[in-house]
Amino acid sequence: MSFVFSFLGACLGIIAAIFIIIMIIFIKVRSMVGPVNFKELIKAAKNVKNIERQEYMREKNVSGMTKVLEPAILRDFNDFNKDFLFSKVEKNLLKIFNAIEEKNVEEIRKDNDLIYMYSTIRDKVQDLKNNNVNIKYDDVIFHRHAIKDYLKSAGKATVTLSTTLEYYYSDDSDKSKNKKFSDLKRQTRYTTQFVYVYDETKFKYNQMAHTISCPNCGAPLGKLGEGNCQYCGTYIKPINLKGWYMVSYSEDYK
């Protein structure tokens, strides 16, 4: 029992010492800058915190040049529909968020729309599992979309999109910078890229920037039209290349 009292006494002593040090610093700073200036410093510190909170909750501006880029895309793909592609952004991001929340990529693996994204999401989920980290995206609401960039070369066309959205975000990792705002709704922006393979013969032998993985063993597939994985022998269903497929996503406003 005496040990417990001694331990508690030591803890109280440490707390008291810390409090005294803080008070000494407080008094010295106040005496150096003066009472009026000290109040201004306190006020400024509070304002910085309020500004940070307001920025966290401010609806972000979409980044893009839709009116300039859309005509160029329509010249190459007369059936291009930006609203349809914008809807794919929303559906795909919701699927990705759900996979990350659940730490389960089974739905991603079976989704042909996300064939290029499977290996990326699988690795992300595995990393969360290895580090015992949980991430949540609640009450997701999308705001605006814009076409940010358009490129066409080597058998493929790439459209880059900008999307603004909001959600309640929580991340229980030790490195998370957003714990202090867990009660606030986060306003943010994402950049996504979609690829359309218009000439498979050029794209197949070109150095591929985006790879497709075997859904069984995860090995990269050398060709888009391969019938079986060369590593495990799993049959790979042929991909209908004539369509826009998401190949990347990233949050670009943090």
Q: What is the pLDDT of residues 70-98, one digit of tens each?
A: 999 999 999 999 999 999 999 999 999 99
Do 248 and 93 touch, CB atoms closer than 8 A? no
Q: Among 96, 141, 101, 143, which Cα is nearest to 120's?
A: 96
What are the structural domain ranges in the chain?
A: 2-56, 60-251
pLDDT surpassing 80 at residue 197: yes
CA distances from 252 to 24, 62, 181 (A): 43, 11, 18
pTM: 0.71
Q: What mean pLDDT is reported for the chain?
A: 79
CA distances from 50 to 57, 144, 181 (A): 11, 26, 11
Reported as half-sphere exposure (CB side, CA atoms, 13 A), residue 143 has a value of 17
Q: What integer is the mean pLDDT of 134-153?
A: 95
Q: Look-up: residue for tokens 């040049």?
A: 65
pLDDT the model gives residue 206: 43
**What DSSP designation does 237 have?**
P
CA distances from 167 to 52, 69, 105, 116, 183 (A): 17, 29, 21, 25, 11
CA–CA separation, 15 and 29 (whole Å): 21
Sheet holding 156-171, edge to edge: 135-153, 156-171, 185-197, 245-251
Question: What is the number of residues in the chain?
Answer: 254
pLDDT the model gives residue 205: 44
Quickly list H helices, the chain.
2-33, 35-57, 66-76, 82-102, 106-110, 118-130, 200-205
pLDDT the model gives residue 173: 79
Q: What integer is the mean pLDDT of 168-179?
A: 74
CA–CA separation, 135 and 185 (whole Å): 15
pLDDT surpassing 80 at residue 41: no
pLDDT surpassing 60 at residue 191: yes
pLDDT the model gives residue 155: 81
Do 210 and 247 touch, CB atoms closer than 8 A? yes
Region at 5 (left for phi over 0; alpha for psi -120 to 50; beta for the rest):
alpha
The CATH code of domain 60-251 reads: 3.10.450
SS3 label, residue 222: coil
Q: Which distant-in-sequence residues (6+ apart) come within 8 Å of 159 by Cβ?
A: 73, 85, 147, 149, 150, 193, 194, 196, 244
Q: Look-up: residue for tokens 């150095």?
A: 207
Bridge partners, residue 193, by sequence: 160, 248
